[in-house]
Chain A
Amino acid sequence: MNKQELIRQLQNMLPADAVLYEQEDLKPFECDGLSAYREVPLAVVLPETEEQVRDILRLCLRENVPVVARGAGTGLSGGALPLRDGVLLSLSKFKRILSLDPLARIARVQPGVRNLAISEAAAVHGLYYAPDPSSQIACSIGGNVAENAGGVHCLKYGLTVHNLHKVRAYTMEGELLEIGCEALDSAGYDLLALFTGSEGMLGVITEVTVKLLPKPELAQVVMAAFATVAEAGSAVGEIIAAGIIPAGLEMMDKLSIKAAEDFVHAGYPLDAEAILLCESDGTPEEVAEEIARMQAILSRCGATSLRTSANETDRLRLWAGRKAAFPAVGRLSPDYYCMDGTIPRRELTHVLQRIAELSEEYGLRVANVFHAGDGNLHPLILYDANQQGEFHRAEELGGKILELCVEVGGTITGEHGVGIEKINQMCAQFKETELQRFREVKLAFDPSGLLNPGKVIPSLHRCAEHGRMHVHHGQAAFPEIPRF
Chain B
Amino acid sequence: MQHIIEQFSRSVRAAGATHSPLRIQGAGSKAFYGRTVQGTLLDVTPYRGIVSYEPTELVLTARAGTPLAEIEAALAAKRQMLPFEPPHFGVGATLGGCIAAGLSGPRRAYAGSARDYVLGVRMLDGNGEDLKFGGQVMKNVAGYDVSRLMAGSMGTLGLLLEVSLKVLPVPAEELTLRFDMSEAEALDRMNRWAAQPLSLSATCYHDGALTVRLSGASAAVNSVRKKLGGAEVKDAHIFWHSVREQQHAFFAAARTLWRLSLPSTAASVGETGAQLIEWGGALRWLATDASPEAIRQAATVLGGHATLFRSAAPVVEPFQPLSAPLLEIHKRLKQRFDPHHIFNPGRMFPEL
Q: Which residues from chain A sit less than 8 Å from chain B, CB to CB?
A: 101-106, 125-127, 147-148, 150, 154-155, 158-159, 161-162, 171, 175-179, 181-191, 193-194, 196-198, 202, 214-217, 237-238, 240-241, 243-245, 282-283, 285-286, 288-290, 342-346, 371, 374-376, 409-418, 422, 426, 429-431, 433-435, 437-438, 440-445, 447, 456-457
Contacts and interface: CB of A to CB of B under 8 A. Distances in A.
B109 A105 contact: no
B283 A103 contact: no
Contact of B223 (A177, A193, A237, A285): A285
A374 B139 contact: yes
Contacts of B169: 243-245
- A-B residue pairs, 6 tightest by C-beta: A285-B219, A243-B169, A193-B148, A414-B139, A286-B220, A444-B332
Given A104-B263, A191-B329, A414-B140, A183 B304 contact: yes
B143 A426 contact: yes
Contact of A456 (B143, B191, B216, B224): B143
Given A179-B326, A434-B131, A440 B139 contact: no
Contacts of B116: 158, 161-162
A445 B265 CA distance: 32
B140 A437 contact: no
Interface of B: 54-59, 79-80, 102, 108-109, 112-113, 115-116, 125, 129, 131-133, 135-146, 148-149, 151-153, 157, 168-170, 172, 191-192, 194-199, 216-220, 222-224, 261-265, 279, 282-283, 303-305, 307, 319-323, 325-327, 329-330, 332-333, 335-337, 348-349
B160 to A, nearest CB: 14
21 contacts: A103-B191, A183-B305, A184-B108, A184-B261, A184-B279, A185-B152, A185-B261, A189-B330, A197-B141, A214-B197, A215-B197, A238-B56, A282-B216, A283-B219, A286-B199, A286-B220, A343-B137, A375-B137, A375-B139, A430-B132, A440-B337
Contacts of B319: 187-188
B194 A237 contact: no
Given A186-B305, A194-B146, A437-B336, A216 B140 contact: no
B140 A411 contact: yes
A437 B263 contact: no
Contacts of A161: 116, 145, 148
Contacts of B223: 283, 285
Contacts of B305: 181, 183, 186-187
A197 B320 contact: no
Contact of A433 (B131, B192, B222): B131
Given A190-B149, A243-B170, A126 B304 contact: no
A108 B47 CA distance: 44
Contacts of B102: 185, 190
Given A197-B144, A342-B140, A374-B139, A188 B330 contact: yes
Contact of B265 (A103, A177, A286): A103
A425 B143 CA distance: 11
Given A190-B102, A190-B148, A104 B265 contact: yes
Given A175-B325, A214-B196, A215-B197, A197 B220 contact: no
A245 B168 contact: yes
Contacts of A283: 197, 199, 219-220, 223-224
A214 B191 CA distance: 11
A102 to B, nearest CB: 6
A190 B326 CA distance: 11
Contacts of A159: 139
B265 A193 contact: no
A183 B217 contact: no
Contact of A411 (B142, B220, B263, B322): B142
Contacts of B55: 240-241
B195 A184 contact: no
Contacts of B142: 411-413, 418, 422, 426, 429-430
A126 B196 contact: yes
B323 A178 contact: yes
B292 to A, nearest CB: 14
A415 B141 contact: yes
Nearest to A402: B142
A126 B196 CA distance: 8
